[in-house]
A and B are shown apart, each in its own frame.
Chain A
């Protein structure tokens, strides 16, 4: 249950990028399925920490990123389902994870009149 501090870090990062005085309408984040973060819990914590900030009322849009692996044996790229870390094509277990651990702020949507490139 560290979603509260994660939500606070998201707000801190957004505040460094959003233009002064312009309300932030939405924040898009990527959350990998192996990031250790529960999306529902993050949504709840986010709504709790944005009060009285430029993010008040902002939507949190969460891209849930599947765990994908690249098989060293046959080159197959696949989605790891149900923690089965074996290649469905050749059975190989020498896998490189290529997604699923993300925890990233992707972009924000700000109200009309704001300018890019801060």
Chain B
């Protein structure tokens, strides 16, 4: 028997394309968010509320990741922003190459912000860099308070946590403080917003931060 040393990252191809994506974003002075959550946490609804609230005050484009359909892209397109749909055909996450291909269908000049809505999944997207500036994780109050503890990689790698569907709190036994505590235990630097797409609560604060991410903690 003989041993051959290899020492190579399994995802090196993805990392290399992500690096090139990041270079393109930097050249266009484009801020890029990778929005992740479990299915049904409200990523698309948040996008809709966000686009509605921003109302053109930021030039936004959207890349929609979906396992099978273009339903979400059609919802987002109603707000008059450029949208590119990526259908992963069963794939559980977006990869840098898919984003690279999507960029060919977007005019990056004069854009301020690119929002990538990942496939609903809190495990797989954590390992795939897309070239984004930051991950935004959405957790809704109909999920468990222990989500951050169950999916530490995602919460550790995110910069922002949106706690969504807070209008439902009166009807649930959900412990909001526990979710915050667990999330901050995994990632003390996490910036947390509480939102409801139904009532619009918290959307103004979130959008203010989007416009000026350097500003102090709300």
- Using a CB–CB cutoff of 8 Å, the interface residues on chain A facing chain B are 1-2, 5-6, 9-10, 13-14, 17-18, 25, 29, 34-37, 82-86, 93-94, 97, 101, 103-112, 114-116, 118
A32 to B132, CA, bound (A): 22
Q: Which residues of B contact A110 (CB under 8 A)?
A: 1-2, 4
Q: Which residues of B contact A83 (CB under 8 A)?
A: 148-149, 152, 185-186
Interface size on B, residues (CB 8 A): 28
B123-156 contacts to A, CB under 8 A, are 123-124, 126-127, 148-149, 152-153, 156
* Nearest residue, chain A, Cβ from B187: A85
Whole-angstrom distance from the CB of A7 to the nearest CB of chain B?
9
- Is B49 positioned at the interface, with any CB of A under 8 Å from its CB? no
Q: Are B1 and A104 in contact (CB under 8 A)?
A: no
- Is B176 positioned at the interface, with any CB of A under 8 Å from its CB? no
A83 to B13, CA, bound (A): 29
* Total number of residue pairs linking A and B with CB closer than 8 Å: 93
Partner of B1, one of A25, A84, A116: A25
A18 to B5, CA, bound (A): 10
